Amino acid sequence: MAGVPTPPGPGQVPPAHLRVTHQDREHVVEHVKTAYAEGRFDKLEFDERLERAMTARTHGDLMPIMTELYGPQAVPMARPQVSAPARPQVPTDGAERLGASAAHLLAVFGFPVIGPLLLMLTAGKTSPYIRSHAVEALNFQLTLLGATILLPLTFVGIVLVPVIWVAAFVLSVVGGISALSHGAFRYPLTLRMVK
């Protein structure tokens, strides 16, 4: 159709005056985070680039950030490979599925923090699938422990603690079943302190 601009193809740089989407900003933010993790600049430089990326309105605002990171040949909207979230690999045998399931279910049997921690430190070294489930279960159990300690400081918290524990029991069982069936599982409202 005449007069309607066509979007740039793969590997092409979009015109500088085009407005950016949230996804465009997020792609550049991922590059900035990756470069910071690699030690390519300090915290102040990281904060400054992050601010510029998050407030960018056009591709012309994002291109200088990418040029600073990769030089003039940078393709601003290409996703960095290293920052993609790790998905648990599909296990090759039943032992891995059972180990990943145990990371969730040990909390049900009275080992809420110790169980996932031990699995992460032992079997997690040889199996990325077990490690991903053990880390998720450990983060959930640590969040639950913190909530159990802090919530009783309020009257509403005293009422909520038993409800939270019942929900935690159910979620641990669901996580265990999900791990047995080759699935990834993410607990809701969890602080992910352990990576």
- Residue-wise pLDDT tens digits, 95-137: 888 989 999 999 889 898 999 999 899 987 888 888 999 999 9
Residues 29 and 21: their CA atoms lie apart, in Å, by: 13
Number of Cβ within 10 Å of residue 118's Cβ equals 17
Report residue 138 as tokens: 């450990």
90 vs 15, higher pLDDT: 15
Distance CA(46)–CA(52), nearest Å, equals 10
Distance CA 28, CA 53 (A): 7
164-193 per-position pLDDT tens digit: 999 999 999 999 999 888 778 899 988 888
Q: Are 98 and 126 in contact (CB under 8 A)?
A: no
* Under 8 Å between Cβ of 27 and 54: no
pLDDT at residue 137, as a whole number: 92
The helix-helix angle for 128-150 and 94-105 (nearest 10°) equals 0
In 3D space, the residue among 124, 151, 149 whose CA is nearest the CA of residue 135 turns out to be 124
N-term to C-term CA, the chain: 49
Tell the residue number behind the tokens 């029991």, with chain if given: 169
Asked if residue 1 has pLDDT above 80, the reply is no
Residue 37 identity (one-letter amino acid): A
68 pLDDT band (50/70/90 cuts)? confident
Task: Report the distance separating Cα 117 and Cα 124, nearest Å.
Answer: 9
Q: How many angstroms separate the CA atoms of 143 and 124, rounded?
A: 21
Give the distance from CA 120 to its chain's centroid.
17
165-187: string of b/e by CB count within 10 Å (b at 16+)? eeebeebbeebbebbbeeeebeb
Enter the DSSP assignment of 56: -
Give the pLDDT confidence of 17-50 residue by residue, as tens digits: 888 888 888 888 888 888 888 888 788 888 888 8
19: three-class secondary structure by DSSP: strand
**Is 0.75 surpassed by the pTM of this model?**
no
